[in-house]
Structure 1
Amino acid sequence: MDLAYTSTLLSLLLLGITNDVVAGLHITKVTVPTPVEVGNGGWLDCEFVDEGESIYALKWYLGLDEIYRWTPAENPPIKTFPVKGDPLTVDTTLSNKGKVKINDLTLGASGVFRCEVSAEAPDFHTESDVATITVVDLPDEEPRISGARSSYQLHDDVMINCSSQRSQPPASLTFYINQELADPGWLIHYPTKEDPETGLETATLGLRFPLRPRLLRLGSVSIMCTASIFNLYLKSTEVLVLADVPFHASIMEGRAAAGPGYPGRVSSVLTIMTSGVLLRLSH
């Protein structure tokens, strides 16, 4: 048989198979709620086109475990199935076809959800698609800053830690100095610590920097730590690091290195003090 003829025949055969699939049953979209906080829920949505094929069943799986089945020819058409650990509940009163309402998610509900749609006999043509849910257990409190002393001398090393307690996944921590991102070279990265009973993790980030005069704002430095987890959690804690320096020395060093704005604030303080002295002398 001619090679060109054979190639053309195979191409037409493949095109016919592809057209049959496109014209038949196929899934158009699968969406799930993610990320989602522990205890909350959302919708699993599996949209499909049947193109004249009768649907035998639509099933939702979490991993390998079937959690929901819609079989239009049966009565009742909706069935749910228990999963070890009860990672979620299905609200059958709101669910219909491929749209499923899930509630009370636990960390065990994190994973791959698969929608599978099957046509009736004789071919039982089946299509499937997947989406992933991330369940988040948020910290119970704001980030903690520890290690700061009551005061420092100029050029001392400031060493503090920030921790975000017990979450899953661990929080992402960021330090700000005077409202600006801390120099990456000043950061100390620690491994997260996992609670063996709950699996929740505590994240810790360290900060070490020399207390230079240019950092002072009216005798102190603002340190802020921010903890974030996806778009569900954003909390900050701020402390002031105080510099124990002579007043005149702080003015001179501040003028030399504090940057825009600082001399103006010092001048304002001196003006108020001078005005007070003159007022007392006039009396």
Structure 2
Amino acid sequence: MKKMSLRWLLPLATTFLLLCHGSTGHKTVQIVELVVPESPQAGQDVTLTCRFRLLGHNHRLYTVNWWRGKDQFYTYKAASPHTGPRHAYIFAGIHVQTDQSTEESVVLRNVSEETSGVFKCEVMGEGPSFRTAVETKPMTVVVPPSSVEISSNLLRDPPLYFPGERIHLNCTASGAKPRAHITWDINGTPARKEDQSRVLDYEDHRGRVTSIVSLAFDAPRYFSNNLAQVACHARVASHTKTDSTDLYLHPASSAAYNHQYASAGCQAPTMWTMLGLASLLLAPHRT
């Protein structure tokens, strides 16, 4: 009788172990979405999000860990009734807003250039399997220009130009990191590349760059109805700052100068031209 029971007991035990192993093997962790802002602006608060699923019967969360490079700066441990589930650690550029962080999101306060790096979310299920999923994404904190300014060596106010006069403008984008990409447009249309040139880059001890791009052309190119609305755009990642100014063509100019494609020929004199001729005719002649 004892031999018979042992003979049945061994297969039953083996089946039980296989069933246990099989159920553990079906437990998995999936990270369904990892949100790490690609290029936030220095001084902002940033939210990192790691959405996940725990698959398998009675599969519960053990811990969520966040890393920047080799620095583990946040842990959410589900089974921590005495100390609480959230634990944060301070590193250069990393300041966690603990009371606003959860098992799926971490809030970093007042990010800076030092915050930049590769961020990793690690989600682990409960034992004995401790199934784990990991995803990473980079983040580079940028510094938009502190100022963007159009300047000119013209002393006239308002800026009034004569046909054939050389117009020279500078756009200065100060203190950007990385270097700002500067573009010009006039009356809503991009200026020609051959009319633009990079003048200067200056990098300070913090790695912040001041850039100057010039725009030079002869009036009346780009003018429409004696007006050229000039704008300079300085872009760092998705952040753009703009400065703009209006340029004027002297009203005594012939209408033929108002457009670079105007046809040559006899043109009706403007009011300013007629007034000028009249003043010459009416002036007293010397004998």
TM-score, normalised by the number of residues in structure 1 = 0.71
Report the 3-state secondary structure (helix = DSSP H, G, I; strand = E; otherwise coil) of the residue aligned with 1:254: helix
| Alignment partner, residue 154 of structure 1 | 163
Distance 2:62 2:98 in 1: 19
* 1:124–1:223 distance in 2 versus 1, CA, 3 Å: same
State how 1:1-283 maps to structure 2 within 5 Å: 24-52=28-56, 53-74=59-80, 75-83=83-91, 85=92, 87-148=93-154, 150=156, 154-190=163-199, 192-196=201-205, 198-211=206-219, 213-217=220-224, 221-240=228-247, 247=252, 250-251=253-254, 253-254=256-257, 257=260, 259=262, 270=271
CA contact (8 A) 2:67 2:73 kept: yes
Q: Which residue of 2 aligns with 1:6?
A: none
What is the aligned-residue identity percentage?
24
Separation in structure 1 between the aligned mates of residue 209 and residue 200 of structure 2, nearest angstrom = 10
Q: Which amino acid aligns with 1:224?
A: A
**How far apart, CA to CA, are the structure 1 residues paired with 2:96 and 2:110?**
9
**Preserved CA contact (<8 Å) 1:143 1:236:** yes
Give the match's secondary structure for 2:207: coil
Distance 1:267 1:179, change over 3 A: farther
Number of residue pairs the alignment of both structures matches: 242
| Bigger radius of gyration | 2
Query: In 2 relative to 1, CA 55–219 (structure 1 residues): closer, same or farther, beyond 3 Å?
Result: closer
Distance 1:73 1:256, change over 3 A: closer
Unaligned regions of 5+ residues in structure 2, if any? 1-21, 279-287
| Cα shift readout 1:37-63 (whole Å, capped 9, x = no counterpart) | 222113211111111333332100112
Instruction: Report the alpha carbon displacement of residue 108 of structure 1 after superposing the two structures with TM.
Output: 1.1
Q: Are the structure 2 counterparts of residues 222 and 25 from structure 1 closer, same or farther at C-alpha, using a change threshold of 3 Å?
A: closer
Q: How high is the TM-score relative to the length of structure 2?
A: 0.71
The residue that corresponds to 1:3 in the other structure is none
Tell me which protein shows more helix as a share of its residues.
1
Aligned-residue CA RMSD in angstroms? Answer: 3.4
* Rounded Cα–Cα distance in structure 2 between residues aligned with 1:116 and 1:34: 19
CA–CA distance in structure 1, aligned partners of residues 207 and 233 of structure 2: 23
- Give unpaired runs (5+ residues) of structure 1: 1-16, 261-265, 278-283
Q: Is the 8 A contact 1:58 1:116 kept in 2?
A: yes
Structure 2 letter corresponding to 1:39 = G
SS at structure 1 position matched to 2:147: coil
- 1:82 positional shift: 1.6
Please say which of residues 187-196 and 69-78 is displaced more in the overlay. Answer: 187-196
